[in-house]
Amino acid sequence: DQQVKQNSPSLSVQEGRISILNCDYTNSMFDYFLWYKKYPAEGPTFLISISSIKDKNEDGRFTVFLNKSAKHLSLHIVPSQPGDSAVYFCAARGETSGSRLTFGEGTQLTVNP
């Protein structure tokens, strides 16, 4: 039962352009969403989060959008930089799932110079 799904295993963009990573979830009890970035041989690093009472959160080049009715969120990176190349994980938690995070499968982003 994959409650958080990232349907694109990989994404390739040119440096300076926008990267859009997508995530869908099925559990309507999820109320807090996070994006993590992971480089090879390292643990995931927290990037940005959003609560279900908002539909947008922005931090520098990173913006997360939440569409509760569609159970969809997306991460926008603009402008994309080669150093952004990593695996991006979407994660969610909610009242019924306690403190545990449920992760998607990840999307490998490659930013080409």
Binds other proteins by CB under 8 A, chosen from 19, 25, 103, 111: 103
Binds other proteins by CB under 8 A, chosen from 14, 28, 51, 112: 51
Q: What burial class does residue 30 get, using C-beta atoms within 10 Å of its C-beta: 0-12 exposed, 13-18 middle, 19+ buried?
A: buried
Q: What's the CA angle centered on 18, arms 16 and 23, to 5 degrees?
A: 145
For residue 23, give the H/E element and its range. strand 19-25
- The answer to whether residue 86 forms part of the interface with other proteins (CB under 8 A) is no
Binds other proteins by CB under 8 A, chosen from 42, 60, 69, 113: 42
- The answer to whether residue 104 forms part of the interface with other proteins (CB under 8 A) is yes
